[in-house]
Structure 1
Amino acid sequence: MLRIGLTGGIGAGKSTVAKELAALGAVIVDGDKIAREVVEPGTPGLAALVEAFGDGILAEDGSLDRPALAAIAFSDDESREKLNAITHPLVRARGQELIDAADPDAVIVQDTPLLVEIKVAPMFHLVIIVWVDEEERVRRLVGSRGMDEADARARIAAQATDEQRRAVADVWLENTGTEEETRAAVRALWAERIAPFAANVAAHRPADGAPRLDDPAYAERLVGRLWVTLGADATSVTADGAAATVKLADGVAVEAVADRLADAGFAPVGAGLFEGSDPGRAVTVRVEA
């Protein structure tokens, strides 16, 4: 199973990218859709929101009045954190249910608006950031969604910065052209990187001829992914660029973690040596017992 994190600022156009990935065969786990499901009338999620923010967030029919909630929840950091503490665990639990129900060899795309903010990037084989500049996002939110400009800017300001997104991005997808140009870019990404990456992970094999990229932020991403993969079985994980060294805990053999590493995209190629299955980036991991 290949897991991809898809994110970008509000108004960046993630839905266009997600639709094209779905058409290509990916299983989409839509964070926004799930976020709506977990606060429908009669759910524990909606009850918790009412308890936290009051009856004023309800519409006349008892459903959630989203603009009313947004006016409160995005007014200050404390309110936003309170909202996130209620909804995020519910969204994660429902998303995991959908992932567990998917085919073992599926490409899972988790469309997660706050992927950067909640620091879950290391959970994914790849993170795709969909980007357009802030002024264009404001224009889209006001023109297409009918959002008040001040509200649009407040929503954008409450999310991660472009610099924070770049730090976790394996793929930086600029959605500045036509819709068809964006869809074509997604199709190329699928053919050249995602599909072969998924096949390599399923076969536990390294990518052939992957390029070495100049990406200063990658070392931290690589370390994070290895910690998520190995947990307490590792005592040390360090990286210099795309070359990592892992020291295992006492009593843990390299063979005991080999399949986990291969499932995470690091295929065994020799004694204690693993190479990345991603055709878009050469990676080397040395594991020491």
Structure 2
Amino acid sequence: MIRLGLTGGIGAGKSTVAKTFVDRGAYIIDADKIAREVVAPGSEGLASLVTAFGDDILTADGSLDRPALAAKAFVDDEQRAKLNGITHPLIGARTQALLDAAPPDAIVVQDIPLLVENHTAPFFHLVVIVHADEQLRLHRLTTMRGVDEADARARIAAQATDEQRRAVADAWLDNSSTPEDLAAAAAALWDERLVPFEANVRARRPAEPIEALVAADPDPGALPGRLTNRLWAIVGANATAVEVTASEPSIELMVTARSDDAAAELGDALADGGFAPVAPGRHRSCDPGKPATVAVVAPT
């Protein structure tokens, strides 16, 4: 199984990519859908919000009045923290339950609008960004969704910049043309990279790099940092250091384990995280678009 983080700016066309992936067999986890589910009528989340903010956050039919909640929850940091303290654990628990239910051979696609802003990119095997220029997104929002222009500009400005998205992207799908072109690009990514990547992780088999995929990296200069952050997310407290030791002809990294026991435990974690064992203390990337070698060393 691999987990893919899917995101993009508002109006970029992320839903087209998500649908394409689902049509090809993706196990989808939609962050926005979960956020709505945990505060649905009759839910524990909604009851907790009413207790915290009052029953005037409800509509006449008993559902959540989101503007009324926002008027109370976003007045200061204390109220915002109160809201997050209620909803975030529920969203996390529901997300984990869905992950636990995923088949062992799944390509899990987690559709997360604020993935970049929430700094969660390293926790995914691969991050896909759907991109469209700001003016094109503005046009889509105002003409296709009926969003007021000032509101649309404010929403775009509140999200991550293109540079911030590119820095965490493993794959970049451009949506400056037609939905059909975007769907075709997403389907090609699925067939040529995601399916082999998942199969390699499940078989604990290193990938043979595919030149075209490697060359398509959205920001090669940021790749060492992406790999370093990904490794930290995998190894966690079992390591004291992750460092890049070489960048040519491919990237090599070294993980210093916290102890001899920790070094032994890291093998499985790295394999599950996308780096297959190739020799004692050595691993290679399972992703045909992201070649890298990882050495694990015991503390000196």
TM over 0.5: yes
CA separation of 1:170/1:82 partners in 2, compared to 1, >3 Å: closer, same or farther?
Answer: farther
Aligned residues: 289
Measured after TM superposition, the shift of residue 277 of structure 1 is 0.4
Task: Say which is worse superposed, 54-63 or 240-249, in terms of deviation.
Answer: 54-63
Q: 1:272 aligns with which of 262, 265, 281?
A: 281
Q: Structure 1: state its 5+ residue gaps.
A: none
| Equivalent-residue separation in structure 2 for 1:164 and 1:252 (angstroms) | 37
Pick closer, same or farther for the CA change 1:181–1:224 going to 2, 3 Å. same
Counterpart code for 2:193: R
Give, in angstroms, the shift of residue 136 of structure 1. Answer: 2.0
User: Could you say which residue in structure 1 is the equivalent of 2:40?
Assistant: 40
Cα deviation for residue 42 of structure 1 reads 2.5
For 1:165 and 1:100, how far apart are their aligned partners in 2?
28
Is the contact made by 2:7 and 2:130 (CA closer than 8 Å) also made in structure 1?
Answer: yes
CA distance in 2, matches of 1:101, 1:27: 10
Letter in 1 for 2:291: A
Return closer, same or farther for 1:154/1:253 CA change in 2, 3 Å cut-off.
closer
Contact 1:210 1:282 in 2 (8 A): no
Structure 2's unaligned 5+ residue stretches are none
Q: Which amino acid aligns with 2:238?
A: D
How much does 1:165 deviate?
1.1
Cα separation, partners in 2 of 1:73 and 1:184, compared to 1, 3 Å: farther
The CA deviation string for residues 25-68 of structure 1, in whole angstroms up to 9 with x for no partner, is 11000111111111112323234444565555432212123355
Distance 2:227 2:114 in 1: 20
Q: Deviations over 1:87-115 (max 9, x none)?
A: 33322221111110111111100001111
Q: Given residue 216 of structure 1, which amino acid in structure 2 is its aligned partner?
A: G
Describe the shift of the 1:12–1:73 C-alpha distance in structure 2 as closer, same or farther (beyond 3 A). Answer: farther
1:86, distance to aligned residue in structure 2 (A): 4.0
Of 244, 253, 259 in structure 2, the residue corresponding to residue 250 of structure 1 is 259
The CA distance in 2 between the partners of 1:133 and 1:287, in whole Å, is 41
Identity of aligned residues (%): 61
Distance 1:72 1:143, change over 3 A: farther
Bigger shift: residues 92-101 or 195-204 = 92-101
Identify if the C-alpha distance between structure 1 residues 55 and 198 changes in structure 2 by more than 3 Å, giving closer, same or farther.
Answer: same
Counterparts in 2 of 1:282 and 1:200: CA distance versus 1, 3 Å: same
Kept in 1: contact 2:209–2:287 (CA 8 A):
no
**Distance in 2 separating the partners of 1:76 and 1:174:** 37
In the alignment, the residues of structure 2 paired with residue 155 and residue 73 of structure 1 have an alpha-carbon distance, to the nearest angstrom, of 18
Work out whether residues 74 and 154 of structure 1, in 8 Å CA contact, stay in contact via their aligned partners in 2.
no
1:124 counterpart residue number: 124
Q: In 2, Cα distance between the equivalents of 1:101 and 1:236?
A: 33
Equivalent position SS for 2:108: strand
Q: TM-score, normalised by structure 1?
A: 0.90
In structure 1, the partner of 2:60 is 60
Q: Is the 8 A contact 1:29 1:109 kept in 2?
A: yes
> Structure 2: how far apart are the matches of 1:238 and 1:128?
24
Aligned-residue offset at 1:195: 0.3
Which string of whole-angstrom CA distances, capped at 9 and with x for unpartnered residues, describes residues 207-258 of structure 1? 0134455712122221221122112211111125532111111222644321
Q: State the 1:267 CA deviation.
A: 0.8
Q: 1:103 to 1:6 in 2, by over 3 A?
A: same
Residues 95, 173 of structure 1: CA spacing in aligned structure 2 closer, same or farther, 3 A cutoff?
A: same
Distance 2:153 2:84 in 1: 19
Please give the alpha-carbon distance, in whole angstroms, between the structure 1 residues aligned to 2:114 and 2:50. 22
Greater shift in the superposed pair: 212-221 or 33-42:
212-221
Q: Which residue of 1 aligns with 2:224?
A: 219
Q: 8 Å contact 1:210–1:278 — kept in the other structure?
A: no
1:205–1:19 distance in 2 versus 1, CA, 3 Å: same
* Structure 1 letter corresponding to 2:105: D
CA displacement, residues 151-182 of structure 1 (integer Å, 9 cap, x when unaligned): 22222222222221111111111112111111
Instruction: Kindly report which structure 2 residues correspond to 1:169-184, keeping only aligned pairs within 5 A, or say none.
Output: 169-184=169-184
- Partners of 2:37 and 2:280 lie apart in 1 by 48
Q: Does the CA-based 8 Å contact 1:74-1:158 persist in structure 2? A: no
Q: Report the CA distance between 1:6 and its aligned residue.
A: 0.4
Could you tell me how far apart the structure 2 residues matched to 1:162 and 1:170 are? 14
For residue 132 of structure 1, what is the amino acid of its counterpart? Answer: A
What letter is aligned with 1:247? T
Report deviation, 1:73. Answer: 6.3
